[in-house]
Structure 1
C-alpha cells in the first residue's frame, strides 16, 4: 500500500496550548478529519503564547506522537534560520502548510529559506487565518504595510497556494497581495469531528439577570472595549463574564477603566483564561455569547457557542452571517453600536418559552453544520490540488 502524503505543518502554537485560540483549533480539527488520508507533521512552539516555561510532559526539540499527528516542539532558541533549515531538510514531506501570514518564526523563516532555495522546494499552502482582514490590518498598519511591500518586491509569496476560509477572506487576500485568483482556494475551517460535538445541550434556565459571555483573547482585534461601551447603553440588568488570556496589558487597562464606568445594574466578572475542556460548560451557563470582533477568518469560538446551544450576538466581520434569518442571534455592523445595546435589551425581555425555542433553533443549526460535508470536500480539493494529485 502506498504511503499517504506527508504534510509538514507550521503553526505558532499547538496543543496542549490553548491561549492562541482559532489557528490551533483549525489544525486540530483538520487532523481529526484527514488523519487517515495524510500524515501530519507539526512544527510549533514548546510553550503557549506569553508563557516562559515549556509545556509539562513534552520533549522539546524532538519528534513525538500527539493525538493523530507527529509534533516537534521547538524551544525559542531553536526557532532560527539555521535550525529550521536543518529540521525541514531532514524531515521528508510532500507539502508545507503555513498557518499564519505574519508569524516570523512559523511562516516568514520557512518562506525565506524556500525563496533562497535552502530547503527542498515543495508545494506550499498558506492560510492567513484572518490576518489580512480590514480589522486586522488596521492595527499597527504601517508595520504591516511595510512587510507586505517588502514581500512583494522580493516575490516572497511567488507560486504558493492560499487558503481562504470564506469568500470574504478570499477578497482580502486578493485585495492585499494580488495573487492569481486561481491560486486562492476557498476552504473553510472545519468544526470538530462529529464525535467531539455534543448532540444536544440542555436549555439553561432563562431567569434574570441576563447572563452575557465574552470568551476570547484580550486584544484590540477581539474588540472587548467596544462590547463594554455597548453595555453602557443597556437598560436592563445583566451580568457580563469575560474569559480569555490578557494578551495586551495596556489594552486591558483601558477595558478596566470602561468597566468602572458601567452603571450598577451591569455586573462584570473577569474569569481568566478558559481551558478548552471547560468551554462547552462555560457556554452552556450563559444566555448570549457577545463577541463584536473586528474580524475573524472563521471564528471557532462562535461555532463553540452554537454547538453549546448558546445564541450569539456578533459583528458582521466574520463568515457567520444572516443569523437573524436563522433565528439564532444577530450579526450587526460595528458602525451601529446602539443596535447591539438594543438587541441585548430586547433579548433580556424574552420569555422562558421564547428562549427555549431559540435554544432549539441553535441546536438544530449545529446539527446541520455537522452534517454538511461541503467544507470537508473543499479542504480535500485544496490539498490534493497542491500535491498535484486526484482526490480519491
Structure 2
C-alpha cells in the first residue's frame, strides 16, 4: 500500500510543536508495519526561516521518504509544491492530507479527485469554534469554495469525539473516523528524580525552595489560555504561598502581554517563563512537577497532556479539550477554562496523594503508545483502499 502524506510542515520543523512530533512518530511506526510504503510531501518552512534540508527530491528518513518542496514565500507559498504535487498523488494508493487552511490542501484535494484517489483529511484542530472565531474572516469562504467542492469521497480523521463534533457541525454529512494521537510511552518512563529545590535550581537557576511546583507547556499564544492560568495561580498562592508556576514554550507574540499580567498581579517571584525545552529536559520538567495545567481555548488532542500523564504527572485540562477521561482515571480534572474553575481544580489536585495519581496517570497514558495508534491507522487505510 502506497501512502502519500501531504502536510504543510514536517519534522525537523519542531518549532511548530506537537503536530510535527505526532506526524513524525505516526510515520515512523507505520513504516515498521508490513505492506506500508510512506512518502511525505511537505515544504521546508520553519516558521520564519527554511529548514536546512535537501529540497524537491525524496529523502530517506527513519524508514520512510520525505520530499521537502522549497518555500517560495516562507510560511505562505511553495510554487514548487503547487506545480509538482500531482506527481506524488498520482503514484499513491491513498492520500492523507493534513491541515485545512493552507495552500497545499485544496490543490491536493483537486488532484486526488482528478486521479480518483481515496483521501483521508485531518483538520488538526483547525475547525474548532474558537479557532474559527478568532481567525481570519476569510476562513468561511475558504471552507465553502476551496474545500467543500472536493469532499464527496473524502474520509475525515479526528483525534477525539470533540473534534468529530466540530467537523460534523460544519459538514453534517461527513464520514469521520476517530484515531487519537500517540506518544513514545517508554521514553517518558525514564526521568531524573530531583527535589523541589534542585528542580528550581535546574530550570530557573534560583537558590530557593517551593511548597508546590505547577507547570505548563505550549506555544505562547492566546489559544492556550495562559492568562487564565496566571490569574488562577494567584488564588493557589493563598494556600501555597511559595509555590512556583513554570511555563515552557516558544513565544508566538503573547509573551510580552503575559509578563505584564504577571507584574500587574505582583507574581514576579512566583511565575516564570523558560522558553522551549525538549528531550530529557522536557521529561524531567514534567515528571518532577506536582501538577500540569493548560486551560486551552481549543485543542483537538493536545499532545502535551498525554506527555505529562506518561511522565506520571496529573493534569488540569479545560473542557475545550478531549481529556474528560482523566476524571474517571483519577489523574486529573476537566473543567471550564474560567479563572475560578481552574484555580479550584488546581487546589483539589494539589491536595490529593501524589504517588497514587502518578500510577493512575501512567496507566491511562500507556494506551496511547504510538505502536497501538499505528495499527489503528493501518487498519483504516486498508479498509479505505479495499475495492
The equivalent of 2:344 in structure 1 is: 342
Please say if residues 290 and 350 of structure 2, whose CA atoms lie closer than 8 Å, have aligned partners that are also in contact.
no
Counterpart mapping for 1:1-392 below 5 A: 5-35=1-31, 36-37=33-34, 38-48=36-46, 50-55=47-52, 58-77=53-72, 79-80=77-78, 83-89=81-87, 92-105=91-104, 107-114=105-112, 117=114, 120-140=115-135, 142-151=137-146, 155-180=149-174, 183-192=175-184, 196-199=186-189, 205=195, 208-234=210-236, 235=238, 236-237=240-241, 238-247=243-252, 249=253, 251-264=254-267, 267-276=270-279, 278-334=281-337, 336-349=338-351, 354-370=353-369, 373=372, 375-388=373-386
- What are the ranges of 5 or more consecutive residues in structure 2 without an aligned counterpart? 197-208
Question: CA 1:81/1:110 → structure 2, altered by over 3 Å: closer, same or farther?
Answer: farther
Please say if residues 81 and 109 of structure 1, whose CA atoms lie closer than 8 Å, have aligned partners that are also in contact.
no
TM-score, normalization by structure 1: 0.84
CA distance in 1, matches of 2:284, 2:191: 9
Q: Secondary structure at the match of 2:92?
A: coil
TM-score, normalization by structure 2: 0.85
CA distance in 2, matches of 1:90, 1:42: 9
Please say if residues 182 and 368 of structure 2, whose CA atoms lie closer than 8 Å, have aligned partners that are also in contact.
no
Please say if residues 331 and 360 of structure 2, whose CA atoms lie closer than 8 Å, have aligned partners that are also in contact.
yes
Please say if residues 39 and 64 of structure 2, whose CA atoms lie closer than 8 Å, have aligned partners that are also in contact.
yes
Q: Secondary structure at the match of 2:10?
A: coil
CA distance in 2, matches of 1:111, 1:276: 36
Partner deviation per Cα, 1:118-141 (whole Å, 9 max, x = no partner) = xx3321110111111223222126
CA distance in 2, matches of 1:370, 1:86: 35
Instruction: Give how far 1:239 is off.
Output: 1.3
Superposed CA RMSD in Å reads 2.7
CA distance in 2, matches of 1:17, 1:82: 19
CA distance in 1, matches of 2:264, 2:142: 39
Instruction: Give how far 1:114 is off.
Output: 4.3
Query: What is the number of equivalent residue pairs in this alignment?
Result: 366
CA distance in 2, matches of 1:379, 1:84: 27
Q: Secondary structure at the match of 2:14?
A: coil
Question: CA 1:338/1:142 → structure 2, altered by over 3 Å: closer, same or farther?
Answer: same
